[in-house]
Homo-oligomer: A and B are copies of this chain.
Amino acid sequence: MIIRRAEGTDWAAIWPIWHAIVAAGDTYTYDPASSSAAARASWLAPSPDEAWLAELDAAVLGTYHLAPNQPGPGSHIANASYMVAEAARGRGVGRAMVEHSLARAREAGYLGIQFNAVAETNVHAIRLYEQLGFTTVGVVPRAFRHPTAGLVGLRVMYRDV
């Protein structure tokens, strides 16, 4: 598996992964009805945003997005979002992308990575983030409307890079 920068021409391979995850509405706070164009504009936004791909034999297994978490005086802390294709789960793709993003964030000059909105129900992601050194800054109560679990907390998580 290699991890490389995503280009505009990769969108056709990214969109099915992005769409399946966001339309399910159980992990990310994107609009589940997002169009391909709107999703592309956000995931492949110009610098300082970056998108990366995890690829094996020319098949896209996952993708991540790295960008300043806040503009201006908050731009030295990154935000990152990771998505793994359903067929590729359980093979370490997410872990490899988180590890890659930590190194990349450091290289790009960020001082840390912050997650603003990790649903409490997303236990696999939370466990992975904790294993990789992220800690929970706090939990905003009821901030995520899960399609089956109802209102659950959203974690803010952080680690230095």
> CB of A22 within 8 A of chain B?
yes
A17 to chain B, nearest CB (A): 17
What is the copy number of this chain in the assembly?
2
Is the beta-carbon distance between A72 and B139 smaller than 8 angstroms?
A: no
Determine which of B70, B142, B158 lies in contact with A141 in the assembled complex, contact meaning CB atoms within 8 Å: B158
26 A-B pairs whose Cβ atoms sit less than 8 Å apart in the complex: A26-B73, A29-B70, A29-B71, A29-B72, A29-B73, A32-B72, A34-B72, A70-B116, A70-B154, A73-B144, A73-B145, A74-B117, A74-B143, A76-B143, A77-B142, A111-B142, A112-B141, A112-B143, A114-B140, A116-B116, A137-B137, A137-B139, A137-B156, A138-B156, A140-B156, A156-B156
